[in-house]
Amino acid sequence: MAQSFAFGDFSHTQKKTAQKKGGGRTPRDRARRELSQNFLVDRHAVGQMVKAAEPAGLILEPGSGEGVLTTALAATGAHVIGYELDPLLAAKVRARTRDNAGIEIVKGDFTAARPPEEPFAVVGNIPYSITSKIVDWCLTAEHLTSATLLTQLEYARKRSGDYGRWSLVTVLSWPWFTWELLGHVDRTSFRPVPSVDSAILRIDRRPDPLVADEQAYRELVELGFTGVGGSLHASLEPHYRHLPQAFRAAGIAPDTVVAFVHPDQWITLFRELHR
């Protein structure tokens, strides 16, 4: 992003001096780094995101950036509310889209926003540094229907089970949400170019939860992920009766390490242990 010369007497000599004092970076460069700004510039990747999101109705976009994805989402007929923490970017996109009734730009922190009291989806090329914070916000928003997020490739693979292993976050949320890796986006699709590739991760709310007792399910999963004894069976054995029968019903070998237990097997295990 180029330094703005719109205000004040900012000569090329001054610019060079500022860069030298800042280790070769301008204040805008440092701000962009702090905000984890890597803008999506590849139109094909934008199209991938729009296709994966299937936008309709109300869309919230964390980090609207330069508005490339914002305008593409609005072009489908969705109403997009873009949140942008960078005041210069927010003003820039707001000015560019002020005649578009389908776009609203909010200068502020998406994760501090109150979720809408109506069905909505989240779609965004999100800052890597606060991925977990944004995902947590989505998972706790009562009326969220889906979240289509451009994240680091490794994060998307871990959460979707693409490595053949399953994370605590995914297993805990599985009765209410599905996680799916929908496409790879090369690092060259961004400016500045980040050090890692990205992927499209989609989280969908299930129409009906797979378990009724959220607290009991959470207790089971968190206990299982303690790692006591080196296997899931060893972690759970002191706390649950009829564990061998439940493991057989779920198709889990007694020596299975917790990360390799599929979320669907957790659901069966829970049901068997809470009859």
Q: Are residues 75 and 200 in the same domain?
A: yes
pTM of the model: 0.86
The per-residue pLDDT of the chain, averaged, comes to 89
Average pLDDT for 216-231: 94
Residue 63, annotated ligand binder? yes
pLDDT of residue 225 exceeding 70, the answer is yes
Q: 77 among the known binding-site residues?
A: no
Q: Kindly state whether residue 72 falls inside one of the protein's structural domains.
A: yes
Q: Is 149 among the annotated ligand-binding positions?
A: no
The CATH number of whichever domain residue 245 belongs to comes to 1.10.8
pLDDT of amino acid 108: 96
- Whole-angstrom distance, CA of residue 157 vs CA of residue 196: 13
Span 205-210, mean pLDDT?
A: 98
Predicted confidence (pLDDT) at residue 93 exceeds the cutoff of 70: yes
Q: What is the pLDDT of residues 153-199, one digit of tens each?
A: 999 999 999 999 999 999 999 999 999 999 999 999 999 999 999 99
d(CA 124, CA 2): 23
What CA dihedral angle connects 230, 234, 235 and 240, to 10 degrees?
170
**Higher-scoring residue by pLDDT: 126, 31:** 126
The answer to whether residues 126 and 229 belong to one domain is no
The per-residue pLDDT for 97 is 96
pLDDT in tens, 96-107: 999 999 999 999
Query: Which domain range does residue 124 map to?
Result: 33-205
Torsion of CA 256, 261, 264, 266, to 10 degrees: 70
pLDDT for res 22: 45
Mean pLDDT of 214-230: 95
Residue 3 pLDDT greater than 70, yes or no: no
Is the pLDDT at 274 greater than 80? The verdict is yes
- Across the range 209-216, mean pLDDT stands at 98
Q: Which of 157, 182, 205 is the last residue of a domain?
A: 205
pLDDT of res. 36: 56
Rounded to an integer, what distance in angstroms lies between the CA atom of residue 5 and that of residue 17? 15
Stronger pLDDT, 26 or 59, i.e. the higher one: 59
Q: Which of 177, 205, 233 is the endpoint of a domain?
A: 205
67 assigned to a ligand binding site: no
**Amino acid identity, position 63:** G
Residue 94 in any domain: the answer is yes
Are 195 and 240 contained in the same domain?
no
Q: What is the pLDDT of residues 4-42, one digit of tens each?
A: 222 222 222 333 333 444 444 444 444 444 445 799 999
Overall domain count for the chain: 2
Q: Is 9 annotated as a binding residue?
A: no
CATH of the domain at 112: 3.40.50.150
Whether 40 has a binding-site annotation, put simply, is yes
Can you say whether residue 174 is alpha, beta or left, with left for phi > 0 and alpha for psi between -120 and 50 degrees? alpha
- Do 150 and 169 lie in a common domain? yes
